[in-house]
Amino acid sequence: MTLLIGGTGKTGRRVAERLGAKATIASRTSATRFDWDDETTWRPALEGHQAVYITFYPDLGLPGAAEKVGAFADLAAANGVEQLVLLSGRGEPLAQRAEQRVKDAGTGWTIVTCSWFAQNFSEDFLADAVRGGDIRLPAGDVAEPFVDADDIADVVAAALTDPRHRGRHYELTGPASLTFAEVADELSRATGRAIKYTPISFEEYESVLREAGLPVELAAMFRGILDGRNAEPADGVREALGRSATPFETYARKAAPDL
C-alpha cells in the first residue's frame, strides 16, 4: 500500500488515479487525516504503508519545511516504510535541504524536482487570472520550461511501484522554455480569447498573495527562483519513462474548455 501525502492536490490525485486501490489519500480533510502542522496525525497515517509520496504544503522552499519533512521521513523509516518519493522544488536551496533529509532517513528514496506546473494556469492560483484575461506576476521576461502535472504523476507512480527508480533524482520540465508572455499567447490561441501577461513588482505581488490567502513569503521565494536559473529544460521525463515530456501547447489545448 502507498500513502499519498496531499493526495487531493494537483499531482497527488493524479497519482491516486494511476495506483487505484493500492493508494491511500491523506490530507487535512480526507478519511486518512494528515496535517503537516499536527504531528499526532503522522504515525496513524503511516500504519500499513510500504511506500509514501511526500508533497509539502504550501511549498518545500519555505523556512521550516525541511525540518518537518526530515522528521516525517525519520518516522516513516522507523515504521517500516521501504520507499519515499519526494516532490521537490527545482532550484530552491531550502528544498534541497529537505531532499537530503529524505535521503538520510534510511529508506529507499526517489527525488522528483519540478518548477512551474503548467496546471498552475488552470487549476491553481493563476486560473482566475487566466479567466480574467490578465496574468500578473513578478516574472519579467524570464523563461520557464513548464512541466505537465500528468508527466509528474507518471514519474511518481513509477517511482512508487518500481524499485528500478530507487536512488534516482529526476529533474522534470517541459520540452521547451516559454516566457510568461509566450504562455499568455499560447493560452489565447487555445481558448480563442485575448489573454495577456502583465509584469508587476514583488511588492505588488505580495498584495496579490494576501488577497488569495496565500503566504506572502512566496513572493520572496519567487524573487529567488524567477531569475532564470530554471530556464534550461531538463530531460528527467525521458530518463524515467523513456518518452518525451508533454509540450505546453498540448496542455493548453486540453485545459482550454475549463478556461
pLDDT tens digits along 152-193: 999 999 999 999 999 999 999 999 999 999 999 999 999 999
> What separation, in Å, do the N-terminal and C-terminal C-alpha atoms of the chain show?
36
Give 57's contacts (C-beta < 8 A, 6+ positions apart).
6, 9, 36
Which of 46, 64, 44 shows the shortest CA–CA distance to 56?
Answer: 64
Asked if residue 247 has a cis previous peptide bond (ω within 30° of 0), the answer is: no
**pLDDT tens digits for 24-82?**
999 999 999 999 999 999 999 999 999 999 999 888 988 899 999 999 999 999 999 99
Give the model's pLDDT for residue 131.
Answer: 97
Domain with residue 182: its CATH number is 3.40.50.720
Cα–Cα distance, 106 to 99 (Å, whole number): 13
- Type of residue found at 85: V
Mean pLDDT score of the chain, rounded to an integer?
Answer: 95
For 98-155, give the DSSP string: HHHHHHTTSSEEEEEEE--BTTHHHHSTTHHHHHHTEEEES-TT-EE--B-HHHHHHH
Does residue 234 contact residue 171 with C-beta atoms inside 8 Å? yes
- Bigger pLDDT: 143 vs 224: 143
Instruction: Determine phi and psi for 96, rounding to 5 degrees.
Output: -65, -30
**In the Cβ-directed half-sphere of 64, how many Cα atoms lie within 13 Å?**
5
Q: Which residue has the cell 528527467?
A: 236
| Model pTM score | 0.94
- Tell me the sheet residues that pair with 86: 54, 111
Which is higher by pLDDT, 204 or 241?
Answer: 241
**pLDDT of 224 higher than 90:** no
3 state SS of 25: strand
Range 232-242 average pLDDT? 98
Q: Would you say 185 and 121 are in contact if contact means Cβ atoms under 8 Å apart?
A: no
Number of domains in the chain: 1
Nearest to 259 by CA among 159, 183, 198: 183
Write out the residue range of the structural domain in which residue 13 sits: 2-258
pLDDT bracket for residue 208 (50, 70, 90): confident
